[in-house]
């Protein structure tokens, strides 16, 4: 995903002299081409994320199109108040690109994990939260964010690198996509790199389940998901929301809130990280397996 | 042009207005407004014909800014009268776009200089004045931005630290001491000058040099030593006047003192 991002930035920057990339001293090698071609528009702000967001907001206020890239906790947690004040309150829109979704930096420990970022970025009015799942969807997220400037800011949540490409889905709208099979018994809703554990035709046919991918999470996403399920007569199936984050402030909670507000019902369950910091040294895949983030476990839990 | 005379006129009227508005509105940071008002008066006495942007990073002293902007005809008497009232244009902190000169919203400390750095990079031909407080320099983000400004040699930025040496509860040196500021700033390889922040002659000279002459080879930090509550004897250097309403007797005493100062 991160290489897809860096390559796309080169393509965009060739056409647009106002594009800037700011990094917090990370991105070894991936920005080599960008740096060599557009050294004036690549700023390594150092390990000073609060300043980096302020600088980005200042550049954006003068018409620059700024992409800020670093590891998720340092980008959106360390500098949260800068995002709130200088991007949100001052309406100086930029693109935040965070790397290390969920447990992508598994063995670097809990300081580098990201279980809370979606929730806190949803709290900034007008912020679009993008959750790409592979290289192709990353490029789409970057393009969408680029064309949203200066009207809107975006937070793009990348996993890391080397994620497999997933078969092309059908798109419900620009926020949601689906991978469907015949006679499904359940619907898995997920996002980001976790989708590649579910969006797999062979697996879906075997276990008879559909997948909905949330590629962009806004105020309307939950209502769109429920509408889609109702309009396609899928509201009688089990729905499980699988998220590589805490449950708090995620897609499951958003759907539940919308269900209560709209007086509709679904048979819905949540599969998210336990609400605690993780200290055990384990690979991301190992942890996801142990926590049952695979279809056979999810369906077993439902009793279907 | 007699810049000093102009600055003195602005500052005298602005000081009196600060007192009047705080008394009427029962809101506003009076102490810091009185310490920064001479710096703002000096800036606005010289910037007329230049491409200048001011960022008041210590946004809680908005009232001083408004009172100075009133003197140059940017803020109306009515808007100042309505300060802090429900539905009014201005209250505690600067809101971006609320007046022509107010191009950035501040209030939370430690934000203004980073934004200023971004703006200065995007518009190298514009001169930026960024006003910080000494208490604000407790914020780590200020030092991140100072390092960034030095690293990128953002020569179109002039930082002014309104060094009134008082925070909300106590003297800055009793909280997180930032002195000696020049050495710290010189250590960051930043060109630094210390002035009496109420000596507008000095300030005007420095600002004019920054705007007119080629004295813009590097960024500059001005440590402006000021007195919190300057001009009102019972407020000067007294922490509680950071943010306090005035009763009638205090109000009358303050006006009397300021009038006497004008006469002198």
pLDDT digit string (tens) for B113-127? 999 999 999 999 999
Please work out, in degrees rounded to the nearest 5, the angle formed at the alpha carbon of residue B38 by the alpha carbons of B35 and B41. Answer: 140
Neighbours of A170 (CB within 10 A): 9
Mutate to test the interface with A, among B94, B118, B126 (most CBs of A within 10 A): B118
**Is some CB atom of chain B closer than 8 A to the CB atom of A58?**
yes
CA distance B169 to A185: 64
Q: Nearest C-alpha of chain A: how many angstroms from B122?
A: 6
List the one residue out of A171, A214, A196, A37 whose CA is nearest residue A104.
Answer: A196
Mean pLDDT in residue range A190-195:
98
Return all residues near A15 (Cβ < 8 A) that are at least 6 apart.
Answer: none
The mean pLDDT values, 10 residues at a time, for chain B of 264 residues are: 94 97 93 97 94 97 98 97 95 96 98 98 96 97 98 97 94 94 95 97 95 78 97 94 93 93 67
Domain of B166 in residue numbering reads as: 3-263
Q: Residue A63: which of B104, B116, B122 has the nearest Cβ?
A: B122
CATH number of the domain at B155, please: 3.40.50.970
Could you give the CA distance from residue B59 to residue A48 in angstroms, rounded to a whole number?
22
User: Are residues A131 and A174 in contact, defined by beta-carbon separation less than 8 angstroms?
Assistant: no
What is the predicted pLDDT for the residue at B230?
97
Q: What is the mean pLDDT of residues A235-247?
A: 97
Q: How far is B185 from chain A (nearest CA, A)?
A: 17
Question: Which of B107, B119, B148 is opposite residue A51, by nearest beta carbon?
Answer: B148
Would you state the pLDDT for residue A66? Answer: 98
The whole-number pLDDT of residue A3 equals 92
What percentage of chain A carries pLDDT values higher than 70? Answer: 100
Render pLDDT for A149-185 as a digit per residue (tens, 0 to 9): 999 999 999 999 889 999 999 999 999 999 999 999 9
Q: Assess whether pLDDT exceeds 80 at residue A93.
A: yes
> How far is A288 from A298, CA to CA, in rounded Å?
12
- Chain A residues in contact with B123 by the CB 8 A cut-off are 62
Q: Is the pLDDT of residue A303 over 90?
A: no
| Preferred mutation among B104, B110, B115 to probe A, highest tally of A CBs within 10 A | B115
Tens of pLDDT, residue by residue over A197-222, are: 999 999 999 999 999 999 999 999 99
Q: Is A22 on the interface with B (CB under 8 A)?
A: no
Cα–Cα dist A174/A264, whole Å: 24
Mark yes or no for CB contact B104/A90 under 8 Å: yes
Q: How much is the pLDDT for B260?
A: 78
Name the token pair of B253.
């005493």
Q: What is the mean pLDDT of chain A?
A: 96
Minimal C-alpha gap between A78 and chain B (Å):
11
* Total domains present in chain B: 1
SS3 labels along chain B: CCHHHHHHHHHHHHHHHHHHHHHHHCCCCHHHHHHHHHHHHHHHHHCCCCCEEEEECCHHHHHHHHHHHHHCCCCCHHHHHCCCCCCCCCCCCCCCCCECCECCCCCCCCCHHHHHHHHHHHCCCCEEEEEEECHHHHCHHHHHHHHHHHHCCCCCEEEEEEECCECCCCEHHHHCCCCCHHHHHHHCCCEEEEEECCCHHHHHHHHHHHHCCCCCCCCEEEEEECCCCCCCCCCCCCHHHHCCCCCHHHHHHHHHHHHHHHHC
Residue A259 has pLDDT above 70, yes or no: yes
List of chain A residues whose C-beta atoms are within 8 Å of the C-beta of residue B109: none
- ipTM of the predicted structure? 0.95
- What is the model's pLDDT at position B214? 57
CA distance A159 to B29: 46
pLDDT at B217: 79
**Predicted confidence (pLDDT) per residue in B226-236, tens digit:** 999 999 999 99
pTM of the model: 0.96
Sheet holding B157-163, edge to edge: B52-56, B127-133, B157-163, B220-225, B191-196
HSE value, Cβ hemisphere, 13 Å, CA-based, for A53: 28
- What pLDDT is attached to residue A161? 87
């Amino acid at each position: 995903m991160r290489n897809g991002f860096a390559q796309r930035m080169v393509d965009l920057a060739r056409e647009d002299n106002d594009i800037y990339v700011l990094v917090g001293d990370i991105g070894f090698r991936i920005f080599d081409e960008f740096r060599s071609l557009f050294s004036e528009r690549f700023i390594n702000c150092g390990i000073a994320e609060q300043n980096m967001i302020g600088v980005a907001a200042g550049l954006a206020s003068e018409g620059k199109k700024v992409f800020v890239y670093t590891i998720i906790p340092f980008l959106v947690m360390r500098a949260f108040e800068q995002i709130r004040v200088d991007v949100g309150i001052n309406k100086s829109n930029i693109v935040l690109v965070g790397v290390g979704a969920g447990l992508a930096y598994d063995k670097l420990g809990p300081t580098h994990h990201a279980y809370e970022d979606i929730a806190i970025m949803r709290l900034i009015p007008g912020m679009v939260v993008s959750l790409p799942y592979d290289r192709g969807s990353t490029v789409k997220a970057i393009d969408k964010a680029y064309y949203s400037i200066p009207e809107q800011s975006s937070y793009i949540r990348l996993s890391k690198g080397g994620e497999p490409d997933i078969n092309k889905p059908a798109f419900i709208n620009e926020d949601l996509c689906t991978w469907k099979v015949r006679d499904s018994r359940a619907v898995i809703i997920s996002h980001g790199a976790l989708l590649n554990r579910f969006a797999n035709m062979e697996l879906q046919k075997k276990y008879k389940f559909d997948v909905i991918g949330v590629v962009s999470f806004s105020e309307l996403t939950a209502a769109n998901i429920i509408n889609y399920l109702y309009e396609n007569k899928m509201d009688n199936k089990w729905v499980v929301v699988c998220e590589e984050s805490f449950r708090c402030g995620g897609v499951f909670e958003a759907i539940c809130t919308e269900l209560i507000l709209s007086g509709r019902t679904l048979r819905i369950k949540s599969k998210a990280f336990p609400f605690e910091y993780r200290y055990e040294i384990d690979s991301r895949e190992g942890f996801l397996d142990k926590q049952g983030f695979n279809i056979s476990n999810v369906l077993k839990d439902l009793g279907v | 042009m007699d810049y000093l005379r102009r600055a003195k006129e602005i500052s005298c009227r602005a000081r009196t207005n600060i007192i009047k508005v705080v008394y009427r509105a029962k809101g506003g940071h009076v102490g810091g407004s009185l310490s920064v008002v001479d710096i703002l008066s000096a800036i606005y006495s010289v910037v007329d014909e230049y491409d200048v942007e001011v960022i008041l990073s210590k946004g809680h002293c908005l009232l001083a800014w408004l009172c100075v902007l009133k003197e140059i005809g940017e803020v109306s008497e009515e808007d100042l009268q309505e300060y802090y009232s429900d539905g009014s244009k201005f209250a505690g902190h600067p809101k971006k776009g609320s007046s022509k000169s107010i191009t950035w919203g501040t209030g939370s400390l430690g934000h203004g200089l980073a934004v200023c750095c971004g703006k200065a990079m995007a518009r190298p031909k514009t001169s930026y004045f960024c006003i910080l407080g000494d208490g604000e320099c407790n914020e780590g983000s200020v030092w991140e931005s100072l390092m960034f400004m030095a690293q990128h040699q953002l020569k179109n930025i002039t930082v002014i630290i309104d060094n009134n040496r008082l925070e909300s509860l106590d003297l800055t040196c009793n909280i997180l001491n930032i002195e000696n500021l020049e050495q710290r700033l010189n250590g960051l390889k930043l060109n630094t000058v210390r002035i009496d922040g109420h000596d507008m002659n000095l300030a005007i000279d420095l600002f004019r040099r920054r705007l007119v002459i080629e004295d813009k080879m590097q960024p500059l930090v001005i440590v402006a030593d000021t007195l919190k509550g300057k001009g009102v004897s019972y407020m000067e250097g007294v922490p509680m006047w950071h943010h306090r309403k005035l009763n009638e007797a205090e109000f009358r005493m303050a006006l009397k003192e300021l009038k006497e100062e004008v006469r002198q």
